[in-house]
C-alpha cells in the first residue's frame, strides 16, 4: 500500500487518478469527473494512463486477463472521448514503465495485460506445465468400482459428465474443468 503521509490530500488533488492504482473497485468515472472538475486536461497523461489501466482491470472482472489492442483502444477512446493518438502514446509509455505488458501473437494480433495479471497468468501456466511433467501419484485402481461405492455411501448419483470429470482427475496429473455442475437425479454437485 502506498503511503502519502502528510501530503496525501495534495497528492490526490494533483492526480486523482492514482486512486485507480491504489484502491480496489473504485469507480473510474467518478474519479474522472472530479479530476476534470479540478482542471485536469481531457488528454492528460494521467487521465489516459488511468483509463487504459481501468479498461484492463474492468476486463479482468469478466475473467479476461488481457485485451486485444483494437478493443482496448476503442473502449478508452469511446469512454474518455479522446483521440486515438493519445492512447497510442500512453500505451508506449505504460509499456516502457512496465505497468502493462504487450504480447504479439502468431496471428499478428496485439494484446495488452496489466503487469500483475500477466505475471499471475504466466505463473499459473508454468505451474500447470510443471505438474504435467510429474508422476501421477493419486491414481486409484478400480476407479469405477470405487466411484460406485462412494455414490452409495453418500447417497448421490453423479451424471455421466461428472463421472467423466472425476475419471479425468484420476487418470491425469492435471485436469482443468470449467463450467458449473449439471443436475443429477438426487443431488446437484
- The whole-model pTM stands at 0.74
H/E stretch holding 103 reads strand 100-104
- Domain ranges in the chain? 5-126, 134-189
Under a CB-based contact definition with an 8 Å cutoff, are residues 102 and 112 in contact? yes
Residues with Cβ within 8 Å of residue 72, at least 6 apart in sequence? 52, 55, 56, 87, 112
**C-alpha pair distances (Å), 150 with each of 20, 77, 155:** 49, 56, 8
- Residue 72: other Cβ atoms inside 10 A: 22
Start-end of H helices in the chain = 8-14, 18-22, 28-37, 45-61, 69-80, 84-96, 115-132, 143-154, 160-171
- What pLDDT sits at residue 180? 59
User: How far from 99 is each of 25, 89, 116, CA to CA, in Å?
Assistant: 18, 14, 8
Can you give the pLDDT of all 189 residues of the chain as single tens digits? Answer: 566 677 888 888 888 998 888 877 788 999 999 999 999 999 999 999 999 999 999 999 888 999 999 999 999 999 999 999 999 999 999 999 999 999 999 999 999 999 999 999 999 999 999 988 888 888 899 999 999 999 999 999 999 989 998 998 998 888 887 765 554 333 333
Domain 5-126: CATH architecture, name and number where available: Orthogonal Bundle (1.10)
Rounded to an integer, what distance in angstroms lies between the CA atom of residue 132 and that of residue 124? 12
Give the cell for residue 88.
497510442
Q: Kindly state the DSSP code that residue 106 receives in the 8-state scheme.
A: T
Amino acid at each position: 500500500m502506498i503511503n502519502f503521509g502528510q501530503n496525501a490530500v495534495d497528492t490526490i488533488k494533483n492526480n486523482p487518478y492514482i486512486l485507480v492504482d491504489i484502491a480496489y473497485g473504485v469507480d473510474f468515472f467518478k474519479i474522472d469527473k472530479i479530476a476534470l472538475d479540478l482542471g485536469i486536461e481531457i488528454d492528460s497523461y494521467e487521465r489516459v494512463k488511468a483509463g487504459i489501466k481501468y479498461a484492463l482491470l474492468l476486463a479482468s472482472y469478466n475473467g479476461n486477463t488481457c485485451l486485444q489492442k483494437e478493443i482496448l483502444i476503442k473502449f478508452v477512446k469511446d469512454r474518455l472521448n479522446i483521440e486515438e493518438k493519445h492512447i497510442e502514446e500512453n500505451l508506449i509509455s505504460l509499456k516502457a514503465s512496465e505497468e502493462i505488458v504487450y504480447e504479439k501473437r502468431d496471428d499478428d494480433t496485439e494484446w495488452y495485460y496489466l503487469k500483475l495479471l500477466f505475471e499471475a497468468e504466466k505463473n499459473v501456466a508454468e505451474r500447470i506445465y510443471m505438474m504435467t511433467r510429474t508422476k501421477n501419484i493419486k491414481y486409484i485402481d478400480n476407479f469405477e468400482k470405487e466411484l460406485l461405492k462412494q455414490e452409495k455411501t453418500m447417497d448421490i448419483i453423479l451424471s455421466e459428465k461428472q463421472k467423466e470429470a472425476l475419471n479425468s482427475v484420476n487418470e491425469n496429473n492435471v485436469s482443468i474443468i470449467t463450467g458449473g455442475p449439471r443436475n443429477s437425479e438426487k443431488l446437484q454437485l
